[in-house]
Chain A
Amino acid sequence: MTDIASRGYTNPEVLVSTEWVAAHLDDPSIRLVESNEDTLLYASGHLPGAVHVDWTADLNDPVRRDYITRKGFQALMSRIGATPKTTVIFYGDKNNWWACYAFWVFQLFGHKNARVMDGGRVKWEKEGRPMTREVPVITPTKYRAPERNDKPVRAFRQDVLAHLKKKGQLVDVRSPEEYSGTRMHMPDYPNEGALRGGHIPTAKSVPWSRAVNPEDGTFKDAKALAELYVKTNKLKKDRPTIAYCRIGERSSHTWFALKYLLGFKNVKNYDGSWTEWGNSVGVPIEK
């Protein structure tokens, strides 16, 4: 894949290459954060110095379907030894789904000093770069976070309904089968209880995976991304856009690509996604 700086992204600085990370493993100003779907993966081996942030245990409220509070985020940042000046580099399995999801949750607390390692864990492993089981000993920091601010990047169900009335853009990043309603869940994943199949009316079907190069999981260049989202699917960069999937992890990946790589002005992630919409009484659905 070409050098990140030459790919034409609006905000190329949000992506770092595996080479860059390899050269900064001992850099005290960065903190590597591994976020996976598979909770055993970090323990089985990770990048030297990387800490583990689990999407369920660390980012979600343990009781309500919601994210951690300001207090929880401060405790998390303290645990991983980050200050507001720390550059947090996310990477993980599944083509960085959970890395982008964690990156997105960090934006709810305004930690803008964040990057994603292009290609994620698989690219690092395939390149034969060092992995370790040694968990770094972190000196806790004091981190003062602002109150969580969902408004800029998070959409709730009522926001989606209002967005629909204003004829806002929607991107459904699930598989074509989930979009069409022929299946209620990802291939090879359990049905997590959506009672209805289909998609939110007017949503464009752009499966998340079309944004990455299948051979190494890196993001496609800006030209290819623009071809996909802007030309083929007629999405406009200056119009409000909401991405959704099943629970908001795959759509975090698309949100990242649209907002940072293509420079869409106003993109939100609807984390309630299909597990909420497909169970909601009275909301419009198309098949």
Chain B
Amino acid sequence: MSLPSKLEAVLETFDLFSDPADRTSLLLSYADQFREVPKAIATRPFPQEHLVPHCESEAYVWAIKQPDGTLKLHFAVENPSGVSAKALATILDRSLSGLPPAEIAEVTPDLVERIFRQNISMGKGLGLMSMVQAVRSLATAAAKTRA
């Protein structure tokens, strides 16, 4: 199955940037635009069932079903140094929120490598892929609920 069009557009943008410095700037610009989960959805201490496993940035994820049946993704990143997690959260929110759960559930963690490439480090890679996996799991569950 092809990727959602907004996500494909983001990935194509990253593909265009071959210079590591340019890719770093792009990732930072996404991280700078990160918005934490609104208080109406969740407040600290965030429930552990929303914690992304294996993510050292202590990321949390929510997938809230909207009246039209689509999902709205929200994230929190507790580690102030969690720049990569914030960048990925912004990308996932911007490109997947507003889509039906079944479509989001098709997104696979290998997109992390395409986004971060040389900016991926050992521990971080696993944590970031876990973020995508957590979104997938929530979307899969939401798709089943709808059915």
Inter-chain CA distance A125–B80, complex, in Å, is: 10
Q: Which of A40, A121, A189 is close to B122, meaning CB atoms less than 8 Å apart?
A: A189
Instruction: List CB contacts (< 8 Å) of B69-92 with chain A.
Output: 80-81, 83-84, 87
B residues less than 8 Å from A121 (CB atoms):
81
Inter-chain CA distance A189–B127, complex, in Å, is: 8
Instruction: List CB contacts (< 8 Å) of A8-24 with chain B.
Output: none
Task: Check: B134 CB closer than 8 A to any chain A CB.
Answer: no
Taking the nearest CB of chain A, how far is it from the CB of B24, in angstroms? 5
A44 near B28 (CB under 8 angstroms)? yes
Secondary structure type dominating chain A contacts: loop
B54 near A41 (CB under 8 angstroms)? no
B residues less than 8 Å from A122 (CB atoms):
81
A40 near B123 (CB under 8 angstroms)? no
Number of A-B contacts (CB under 8 A): 54
Task: Check: B43 CB closer than 8 A to any chain A CB.
Answer: no
B residues less than 8 Å from A38 (CB atoms):
81, 83-84, 121, 124
Task: Check: B119 CB closer than 8 A to any chain A CB.
Answer: yes
Task: Check: B101 CB closer than 8 A to any chain A CB.
Answer: no
B residues less than 8 Å from A93 (CB atoms):
81
Q: Which of B20, B81, B122 is close to A41, meaning CB atoms less than 8 Å apart?
A: B81
A188 near B28 (CB under 8 angstroms)? no
Taking the nearest CB of chain A, how far is it from the CB of B128, in angstroms? 11
Q: Which of B55, B87, B118, B123 is close to A37, meaning CB atoms less than 8 Å apart?
A: B123
B54 near A40 (CB under 8 angstroms)? no
Taking the nearest CB of chain A, how far is it from the CB of B14, in angstroms? 14
Taking the nearest CB of chain A, how far is it from the CB of B80, in angstroms? 7
Q: Which of A39, A40, A44, A190 is close to B126, meaning CB atoms less than 8 Å apart?
A: A190
A residues less than 8 Å from B121 (CB atoms):
37-39
- B interface list, Cβ under 8 A from A: 20, 24-25, 27-28, 31, 54-56, 80-81, 83-84, 87, 118-127
List 13 A-B pairs, Cβ < 8 Å.
A38-B84, A38-B121, A39-B120, A39-B121, A40-B28, A43-B28, A44-B28, A44-B83, A56-B118, A93-B81, A125-B80, A188-B54, A189-B126
Other than A37-B122, A39-B118, A40-B83, give 10 A-B pairs with Cβ distance below 8 A. Answer: A37-B121, A38-B121, A39-B24, A40-B119, A41-B83, A56-B118, A93-B81, A121-B81, A188-B126, A190-B126
